[in-house]
Chains A and B, each alone.
Chain A
Amino acid sequence: MDRRRFMISASALAGAAAFGLPRRANAAAAAAAVEAAKKYAGSEITIVWEAGLQSLDPLNFSGPKWEKETGIKVKVIEVPVAEMFTKILQEHRAGTGAYDALNVIPSWMPDLVRAGALEPLDAMVDQYGFREELQNIAPVYRDNQMTVDGKIYGFPDDGDVFVMYYRTDVLGDPAIQAGFKAKHGYDLPVPPKTWKEFDDVGSFITEHTGGKPYGAAFFRESAYGNFMFQERFRVEGGKFFDPDTMKATVNSPAGVKVLKDWVAENKWMPPGVETWGFVENLAAFLQGDTAMTVSWPPYGRWAAGYGTDQEALSWVPKSTIAGKVGYSTPPGGAPQLAAGFALSVSASSKQKEAAYLFIQWLNSEEISLERVQLPYALRDPFRESHFTSEEYKSRWPEAPQYLAALQAGAVSGLLDLSIIQTDRYEEAVRQAISRLWAGDDPQAILDDVAKQWDALTDRIGVDKQKAAYAAWASKPNAYPHGA
């Protein structure tokens, strides 16, 4: 964008502000970032991004576009998500300045801030007039995934939230509905609103169809199961710790119930579901082998066939269920926000301002709306304007319902646990899940988890961890509303 266009945009901003047209105001943050970044033309900034589809955003779209508009090259450092935390911290420790901008999973943010790896962004947010646009990020992300101790360290940039997908043709089948009512004595709920209803519906479909399709399937592999456990445990009324003593309460009856329910559910889910991850579950749902599932937002887009003809998505099985998928929040109505990404600036970067301007531009209303509609890049809607975008709603016939489900999740979504050294606590949960599939007793498994959590808390320091937990638990979406 040249100076003349910038001036036009700036004038438009003033006019829009006067007439209360936020769409116009939104163009300004992107334009301001571009204009300010031009002084760094000819330089190169690096950004850490999750390897795979996620990276196609900066590689194919935003990186080249930014370079065209500012003259700044973007070098994308692709890192598998499991190694991102390690690489970011290792680089910070080494102090090489190799990374300028970062993708950070919000639950890591407190640990990275305590380690000094992230740059506080408040001053630059004010300098480049981004604060107002930040307010338009959906509340659950804005209020929970942006700040540590009151300071901004990252811009929530990915509306990761679990969504329930269900086959409208299967759940709406009159024969299945009649049989269900005869067996359970109540109308088949479309979609199920509680886990009890979900289990009733799922098991009945498997029984009625003989497994063609199965009533439901999930990813049960422990890395994914960790997120599902955190959600369901809290939906069942569980609390992670006693806030007064910081003793782990993960082995409460709520936790045991979740694990027992999981084992029972596997009996009517496809054989071998215990090992399923993202791809196995996706393939089964898209091929019509399962009637319900819970997963991240891309499932919904791909199930509708949105963008799956592109080369980057050639590995996604062809959807046989387009037009037959309904979307809702998972049973319990409080979906896990399950990872997500925020954009941050590395404290050891030697080009902090250029890096900041790039992430402001990426995260702006104008550019982020384009990015969340890239069918291959896995960034999910996270701004109010994304959920209400007429352009997005026109992408496929059921897109309005899809966006409505995401918007509902962005109100009631549950935060990933985020305390000091969260990953160590989560690792115990991941191990617990793999032990569950190995046949160990749920109560014994969770007792061990609680023991490991208590030992960790002692090691870190009860008071320190208690303060971190209190800060996390006080956030509006740490536990289901009213819990």
Chain B
Amino acid sequence: MSALRPPFADRNFKYLMIVPAVTTILLVGLFPVIYTLILSFQNVDMMFEDTSFSGGKHYAALVSDARFWESLLHTLIFLVVALPAELILGLALAWLFLDRMPGRQVFVALLVLPVTISPIVAGATWRLLFDNRFGPINQILGWFSDEPVTILWTVDPFYVYPAILAAEVWQWTPFMFLLLLAALSNVDRSQIEAAEIDGAGFWRRFTKVVLPAIWPVMAIAILIRALDLFRLFDVIWALTRGGPGTRTETFSIYAYILGFQQFETSYTAAMSFVVILLLVISITIVLRRMEIDR
């Protein structure tokens, strides 16, 4: 009988089938990482392509590069503030749109529009909105205060973070909203009703019935947005270019300036590799804590 078995029944055949996909992923994903690692031990910059081994001097320099650590801190600030804001607002909106209402589909479509806009365009648009001379935001605030408002949203250290966060949260809350709306729509209504009959209040129903049901989707949404926020670039570039000074400079902006404007190629590679390592460690820990890797 075994002689009659078709070749695809061979136990190794399944591995053969995934070879092209795995090779592609390795080439596209792993090769740049390895190349980055190699570059980080060389001495390639704007002027010279010195590919000889230069030791770990770039890594040593990173330790005392205050701008690098500050850029990581700024990235974390955006992450820590924007992520919960988007999650809570997205969840609240999803809850609101859970019930049938007239024009629901139209409103959902309108709410999702910001996600479809390129982040750099969104940033440029917000820059115009915040513009001191022509922007409507100061003018609207002026109506309420009865005198001209001249807040320098992209310059004043007090307002610059709220301005960037407003643009960021405006654009990406709908992403959370969409995913969470889909997740909430699949929650078994009978379980909620049963909990209600048992006397559970809103908070208890939410934490004990709804949250466990939507958690797998919510966790993925959080992870996607966290990774997006970690590489936050476009909106800040359009609004402040990392300023004033370097007060809003994220890691991505610093890496772009060093790598692609100043051509400190090897140093940027070392910087990127350190961040890759930090990210891999963080994601592994987070995945374990979220218990969605099973």
Contact = CB atoms under 8 A, between A and B. Distances in A.
B244 A421 contact: no
A438 B150 contact: no
Interface string B129-148: 00111000000000000001
A89 B259 CA distance: 12
Interface stretch (B93-101, B152-160, B187-195, B286-294): B152-160
A271 interface: yes
B103 interface: no
Contact of B132 (A272, A424, A435, A438): A272
Contacts of B263: 86, 89
Q: Which of A114, A274, A427 gathers the greatest number of chain B CB atoms within 10 Å?
A: A274
A435 B156 CA distance: 9
Contacts of A380: none
Interface string A422-448: 011001000110110111100000000
A237 to B, nearest CB: 26
Contacts of B148: 271
B41 to A, nearest CB: 18
Given A89-B263, A271-B148, A431-B243, A438 B156 contact: yes
A435 B262 contact: no
B152 A111 contact: no
A275 B131 contact: yes
Given A111-B46, A272-B152, A437-B155, A423 B262 contact: yes
Contacts of B262: 421, 423-424, 427
A114 to B, nearest CB: 5
B245 A438 contact: yes
Given A89-B263, A114-B47, A275-B132, A438 B246 contact: no
B47 to A, nearest CB: 5
B22 to A, nearest CB: 29
B244 A435 contact: yes
A222 interface: yes
B257 interface: yes
B69 interface: no
A280 interface: yes
A4 B171 CA distance: 65
B205 interface: no
B132 A222 contact: no
B209 to A, nearest CB: 49
B206 interface: no
B31 interface: no
A435 B245 contact: yes
Interface in B216-265: 243-247, 257, 260-263
A312 interface: no
Contacts of A115: 46-47
Interface string A397-425: 00000000000000000000000110110
Contacts of B132: 271-272, 275
Nearest to B132: A272
A435 B150 CA distance: 18
Nearest to A432: B245
B152 A275 contact: yes
B155 A438 contact: yes
Contacts of B155: 274-275, 434, 437-438
B152 A431 contact: no
Contacts of B156: 438-439
B46 A86 contact: no
Contacts of A440: 245
What band does the interface of chain B fall in when counting residues whose beta carbon is under 8 Å from A?
A: 20 to 34
A421 B154 CA distance: 28
B133 A434 contact: no
Contacts of B257: 427
Contact of A434 (B131, B150, B244, B260): B244
A454 to B, nearest CB: 15
A340 B169 CA distance: 40
B47 A272 contact: no
A90 B263 CA distance: 9
B245 A434 contact: yes
A421 B150 contact: no
Contacts of B46: 89, 111, 115, 421
A60 to B, nearest CB: 26
A431 B261 CA distance: 15
Interface string B34-61: 0000000000001100000000000000
Contacts of A420: 47
Contacts of A427: 257, 261-262
B245 A431 contact: yes
A246 to B, nearest CB: 18
B245 A272 contact: no
B135 to A, nearest CB: 10
B260 to A, nearest CB: 5
Interface string B91-135: 000000000000000000000000000000000000000011100
A280 B152 contact: no
Nearest to A271: B150
Contacts of A421: 46, 262
A284 B134 CA distance: 11
Contacts of A86: 260-261, 263
B243 A222 contact: yes
Nearest to B240: A434
B258 to A, nearest CB: 9
B125 to A, nearest CB: 16
B163 to A, nearest CB: 12
A135 B157 CA distance: 50
B47 A437 contact: no
Contacts of A434: 155, 243-245
Contact of B157 (A272, A280, A283, A439): A439
B197 to A, nearest CB: 58
B107 to A, nearest CB: 35
Contacts of A423: 261-262
Contacts of B157: 438-439
Given A111-B47, A424-B262, 5 more contacts: A271-B132, A275-B131, A431-B246, A434-B245, A435-B243
Closest 5 pairs between A and B when the two form their complex, measured CB to CB? A272-B132, A438-B244, A434-B243, A435-B245, A271-B150
28 contacts: A85-B261, A86-B261, A90-B260, A111-B46, A111-B47, A222-B243, A271-B148, A271-B150, A272-B132, A272-B133, A274-B155, A275-B131, A275-B152, A276-B133, A283-B133, A420-B47, A421-B262, A427-B257, A431-B245, A434-B155, A434-B244, A434-B245, A435-B243, A435-B245, A437-B155, A437-B244, A438-B244, A438-B245
